[in-house]
Structure 1
Amino acid sequence: MNALSVQNLTVTYDKTPVLQHVGFDIPKGSLTGIIGPNGAGKSTLIKAILQLIPRTSGDIQVYGKPYHRKRRLIGYVPQRSEVDWDFPTSALDVVLMGRYGHIGFIKRPGKKEIQMAQEALRKVGMEDYQDRQISQLSGGQQQRVFLARALAQDARIYFMDEPFVGVDAATEKAIIQLMQEWKDEGKTVLVVHHDLQTVEDYFDHVLLLNKSPVGCGPTQKVFTMENLKQTYGGSLKFIGEHSVVLQERV
């Protein structure tokens, strides 16, 4: 059974299509990179799947069931730029938010939830910062806190929107290690990713997207020069047989 199935997903802003007739299947236990140029709709795709923005059409199924019936199986790590880091809350409180889907927003977290949140912070090397205000943390530390929140959610499918942007090498290594652990546990991870040179190292599955899917499947079959040219058009420079560098248009 596929972990995620998307059929005929269309999203429009002011009557302008941002995503058109998007359909793909993501197998259980895969690490999937969502790859495409700026403006391709990668972040929009995630938000539409998670019902964070309205969609014009589309059917989303999680493990063969409608999304709304399985939404508790979903974990989400947003872009850092979309978070209000000045909000007065501690690292531990942010991680505890990952438990609200299990205990509800009205019930206060108990000893069990606090212990789970502390263990999640420990796994990402942030146990000594649990009482620190999130505004006082570095970019890499803030990202680790959100990784801990995702851990506390204990989800089966994780969506991560550009998790490597603006983080240090140690945090990037921690993210990769966590993704691999999730995969080893049979969980499924989808990641919006920009660095084409690391795609083959990080992901066993890719979705090439430019408003509509160009290809979706195992990395070794889909992540080809032909498909990349179709995805990025004339915005690619080729170095070697597989390595590519994205050249942003002015």
Structure 2
Amino acid sequence: MDAITVSGMTVVYDKQPALENVSFSIPEGSLTGVIGPNGAGKSTLIKAALQLIPVRSGTVEVFDQPYKNQKQLIGYVPQRSEVDWDFPTNALDIVLMGRYRQIGWFKRANNKDIKWARACLEKVGMEGFAKRQISQLSGGQQQRVFLARALAQDASIYFMDEPFAGVDAATEKAIIQLMKNWKRQGKTVLVVHHDLSTVEDYFDHVLLLNKRPVDCGPTQSVFTIDNLEKTYGGSIAFLQKTTPAGGR
């Protein structure tokens, strides 16, 4: 079964198309990279699929049901740049936000929820920072806290918007390990990603996007020189350095 099906999605900013008639499907249990140049609409796609921004047209289905009926199955890790890190809250409270579907809005977390949240922080190596204000954390530590929040959501599908941006090597390793663990558990992960050199190591499925889909499918068959040339245009020398010799 396909976990995510997007059909005919168009998004327009200031009369300029950011996405044009985008359609694709992501199989359940896949780890999918959304790849494309700057301005290709990768982050816009994530936000539009999650109904965080208005769309001109298009539909999103989750396990063959309308997205609005399946929201509880979705977890989301936004870009760090979109978060107000000066907001006066600590790491534990951020992670507890991932439990609000279970707790209920405007209700207080009980001991079970707090224990769950602390366990999630421990899994990303942040258990010692539970009471630390998020503004006092490094970029890598902040990203780990948001990963712990995603763990707390215990979702079936995760959308992650450039989770590796601005983090140290240890945090990047922790992130990819977490995503691969989700995949082993049968979860589906969709990741906006920009580093072509790691695509084959990180993802078993790829969506190549430049306002419209160029190709979507298994990494081995989609992540090729031909397709990357179509996606990135004239950056041929750069692509040849960062893609495998076996790519066409």
TM-score (norm: length of structure 1): 0.95
Residue 142 of structure 2: aligned partner: 142
Counterpart of 1:239 in structure 2: which amino acid? Answer: K
Do the aligned partners of residues 17 and 137 (structure 1) sit closer, same or farther apart at CA in structure 2, a change above 3 Å counting?
same
Find the aligned partners of 1:104 and 1:56 in 2 and give their Cα distance: 32
Residue 151 of structure 1: aligned partner: 151
Residue 129 of structure 2: aligned partner: 129
**How far apart are residue 111 of structure 1 and its match?**
1.3
Does 2:156 correspond to 1:179?
no
Find the aligned partners of 1:127 and 1:228 in 2 and give their Cα distance: 41
Counterpart of 1:85 in structure 2: which amino acid? Answer: W
Find the aligned partners of 2:242 and 2:67 in 1 and give their Cα distance: 42
Counterpart of 1:231 in structure 2: which amino acid? Answer: T
Q: Would the aligned equivalents of 2:197 and 2:242 in 1 still touch at CA under 8 Å?
A: no
Find the aligned partners of 2:37 and 2:242 in 1 and give their Cα distance: 21
Write the deviation string for residues 103-145 of structure 1: whole angstroms up to 9, x where unpaired.
Answer: 2212111111111100000000000000000000000000000
Residue 80 of structure 1: aligned partner: 80
Residue 19 of structure 2: aligned partner: 19
Find the aligned partners of 2:243 and 2:122 in 1 and give their Cα distance: 41
Find the aligned partners of 2:212 and 2:243 in 1 and give their Cα distance: 26
Q: Would the aligned equivalents of 2:196 and 2:242 in 1 still touch at CA under 8 Å?
A: no
Find the aligned partners of 1:103 and 1:80 in 2 and give their Cα distance: 25
Residue 106 of structure 1: aligned partner: 106
Residue 92 of structure 1: aligned partner: 92
**How far apart are residue 2 of structure 1 and its match?**
0.5
| Counterpart secondary structure, 1:144 | helix
Q: How many residues align?
A: 243
Q: Would the aligned equivalents of 2:10 and 2:21 in 1 still touch at CA under 8 Å?
A: yes
**How far apart are residue 102 of structure 1 and its match?**
2.3
**How far apart are residue 239 of structure 1 and its match?**
2.4
Find the aligned partners of 1:28 and 1:81 in 2 and give their Cα distance: 29
Do the aligned partners of residues 123 and 8 (structure 1) sit closer, same or farther apart at CA in structure 2, a change above 3 Å counting?
same
Find the aligned partners of 2:227 and 2:102 in 1 and give their Cα distance: 41
Residue 162 of structure 2: aligned partner: 162
**How far apart are residue 92 of structure 1 and its match?**
0.1
| Counterpart secondary structure, 1:239 | helix
Q: Unmatched 5+ residue regions in structure 2?
A: none
Find the aligned partners of 1:240 and 1:56 in 2 and give their Cα distance: 35
Counterpart of 1:95 in structure 2: which amino acid? Answer: V
Find the aligned partners of 1:8 and 1:241 in 2 and give their Cα distance: 30
Residue 248 of structure 1: aligned partner: none
Q: Unmatched 5+ residue regions in structure 1?
A: 244-250
Find the aligned partners of 2:176 and 2:150 in 1 and give their Cα distance: 14
Does 2:210 correspond to 1:213?
no
Using the aligned pairs only, state the percent identity.
71
Residue 204 of structure 1: aligned partner: 204
Greater Cα shift, 234-243 or 182-191: 234-243
Greater Cα shift, 42-51 or 103-112: 103-112
Does 2:53 correspond to 1:53?
yes
Residue 66 of structure 1: aligned partner: 66
RMSD of the TM alignment (CA)?
Answer: 1.0
Greater Cα shift, 231-240 or 201-210: 231-240
Q: Would the aligned equivalents of 2:196 and 2:243 in 1 still touch at CA under 8 Å?
A: no
Do the aligned partners of residues 189 and 241 (structure 1) sit closer, same or farther apart at CA in structure 2, a change above 3 Å counting?
closer
